[in-house]
Structure 1
Amino acid sequence: MIVPPHFSTLRTRRRGEQQADMTVGLSRTPVDLELIVPVFNEERRLPQTLATTLDHLNRQRWKSAVVVVDNDSVDGTDEVVSRFTDAPVAIHLIGCSEHGKGAAVRRGISTSSAQYVGFIDADGATPIGTLGRVMALLERGHSAVIASRRAPGAHYRVEQPPARRLGGWVFRSLAGLTLPDIADSQCGFKFFNGDAVRQVIDQCRINGFAFDVELLGALIRHGHDVIEVPVAWSDVPGSTFSIRRDGLRSVTDLARIALDRR
């Protein structure tokens, strides 16, 4: 099992060397599955998620790689990634100077040549074991398979605070204007047929937290199906989402997405 290193570990690479790696990561060997992790200042939550994810992938039959997309972090996120370079599963670090989770995910997908590609959150809120069911559905021919906290059989292991739950209800109500048949568009665990998602990714423009709605809507408009799988989800402290800062922007983006469909 891959054990996450302690934060006291000495830095193993100078900043210039790490930036060189971020450029090389744009050209990657094709694999069956590429798993993208968008990050912004995630030095505390990322080690455990990477350790658990790499350990799980190493025990699967697919040839896999992990791609960490750094959204201009100013902490030690890049050094965390460098500590896993000897893992049995390939790990890459690439940069994204355009701010926003949507921009980071878009960069990871657009530079991928994997047969299947998807993304997870750095907090590991969705159990990585969910991936087995997701991959089985993708291999049967489905275009997009997403984790859902609202599909039948899903439940919360750790609930969100009341304010976040209220904000989530508002967001879901507005997202339903674009995605009426999807119960949960915002769970950060989504995987796609590589060709299908690369067909639409360049049409997406939303950089904020509403990017999932735009991406799923684009897939559906192009005739691709989206399947939800129930998960046991846990709220993990440390999210960069701010109701005050990001809430209004998300509502504005949702309105824009809905209007663009007309």
Structure 2
Amino acid sequence: MVAVRAREPLPRWLTRPAVDLELIIPAFNEQRRLPSTIDSTLDYLAARPWKSAVVVVDNNSVDGTLDTLARVADPPVGLHVIGCSDQGKGAAVRRGIVTSSARYIGFADADNATPIDTLDRVMELLRAGHGAVIASRHTAGAHLEVEQSALRRGGGLLFRTLAHLTVPGVADTQCGFKFFSGPLVREIARDCRIDGFAFDVELLAHVVRAGHDVVEVPVDWSDVPGSTFSARRDGLRSMADLLRLSLAR
């Protein structure tokens, strides 16, 4: 049985100052890929008119992930590092969301596979009132600069087929670049239960069920080596989570 998570307000010491936009980056053993992502993200946000912050959620890394972040001196926008003891991308992202006070909240992968300047279009759409705006590799206008392996593409096709049972109107649930209205995503994230990679599907399903739309933005996407995703471990778990979601509709 899944334990019900408490919905009481978080203590003040767990929350961060309110900003216009908070970008969450879940990280598990990302000492190689994270530094360049942090540098480009901070530089990009510093040049934008929004008051922004980056939040890295360390998911029990055992490499030098935290050391690479400690070397960032005088970041041009807020840079916060928090921990998440529950293992899994979903758990880490949810931790970042529920501790945020930002007007808009989103998350991106540590590999920077989606160009950070995609956020220009994303913010336009969020400010127009859309509940969720996500990057998509499978909508008109998208381009894959560097494709995944044949094995990953095959697994991705099966995953998308199952995901469409839960969110039929969304072409790409797994591109790691998703942004939301802050009040909306804080509320629905508290009702999410999946800790693994199928968390994205669960979150988008809650957005739709709450009566909000999901807008997909085409991207120029590149596969970046070094993913900690395991097809055997994470893939099977994600498929099982998807089946549970589809049965719960």
Whether TM exceeds 0.5 here: the answer is yes
What SS does the aligned partner of 1:184 have?
coil
Q: 1:200 aligns with which of 176, 180, 188?
A: 188
- CA shift at 1:88, angstroms? 1.1
CA-CA distance at 1:115 after TM superposition: 0.1
Counterpart check, 1:247 vs 2:220: no
Deviation of 1:25 after TM superposition, in Å, equals: 7.8
Q: Unpaired runs of 5+ in structure 1?
A: 1-23
CA distance in 2, matches of 1:85, 1:214: 37
- Tell me, what secondary structure is at the counterpart of 2:160? helix
Cα distance between partner residues in 1 of 2:207 and 2:86: 23
Matched to 1:167, the amino acid is G
Query: Residue type of the partner of 2:94?
Result: R
TM-score, normalising length: structure 2 = 0.94
Alpha-carbon shift at residue 26 of structure 1 (Å) = 3.1
Say yes or no: does 1:188 pair with 2:176. yes
Q: Given residue 97 of structure 1, which amino acid in structure 2 is its aligned partner?
A: S
In 1, the alpha carbon distance for the partners of 2:206 and 2:73 equals 35
In the aligned structure 2, how far is the partner of 1:172 from the partner of 1:188? 14
Go from structure 1 to structure 2 and tell me whether the alpha carbon gap of 1:239 and 1:252 turns closer, same or farther (over 3 Å shift): same
Measured against aligned partners, the alpha-carbon deviations of 1:98-157 in whole angstroms (never above 9, x if no partner) come to 000000000000000000000000000000010000000000000100000011000100
- Runs of 4+ displaced beyond 3 Å: none
**Residues 25 and 94 in structure 1, CA contact (< 8 A), matched pair in contact too:** no
**Counterpart secondary structure, 2:166:** coil
Rounded Cα–Cα distance in structure 2 between residues aligned with 1:43 and 1:137:
33
Q: Does 1:50 align with 2:45?
A: no
Residue 85 of structure 1: how far off its partner (Å): 4.3
Q: How many residues align?
A: 239
Letter in 2 for 1:194: G
Distance 2:13 2:156 in 1: 34
Instruction: Mark the CA change 1:107 to 1:67 in structure 2 (over 3 Å): closer, same or farther.
Output: same
1:127 aligned residue: 115
Distance 2:20 2:206 in 1: 23
Partners of 1:38 and 1:122 within 8 A in 2: yes
Percent identical among aligned pairs is: 66
TM-score, normalization: structure 1?
Answer: 0.89
Q: Which amino acid aligns with 2:121?
A: R
* Map of 1:113 onto structure 2: 101
Match runs of 1:1-262 below 5 Å: 26-261=14-249
Counterpart of 1:73 in structure 2: which amino acid?
S
Considering only aligned residues, what root-mean-square deviation do their CA atoms show, in Å? 1.3
Secondary structure in 2 aligned to 1:203? coil
What secondary structure is seen at the aligned counterpart in 1 of 2:190?
A: helix
Amino acid across the alignment from 2:91 = A
Name the SS of the counterpart of 2:79 in structure 1.
strand
Cα distance in 2 between the residues matched to 1:25 and 1:237: 37
2:119 and 2:177 mapped to 1: Cα distance? 9
Q: Give the aligned residue type for 2:61.
A: S
- Residues 15 and 101, structure 2, Cα contact 8 Å, conserved in 1: no
**How many angstroms apart in 2 are the aligned matches of 1:144 and 1:84?**
31
State the 1:198 CA deviation: 1.1
SS of match in other structure, 2:112:
coil
Range 227-236 or range 243-252, more displaced: 243-252
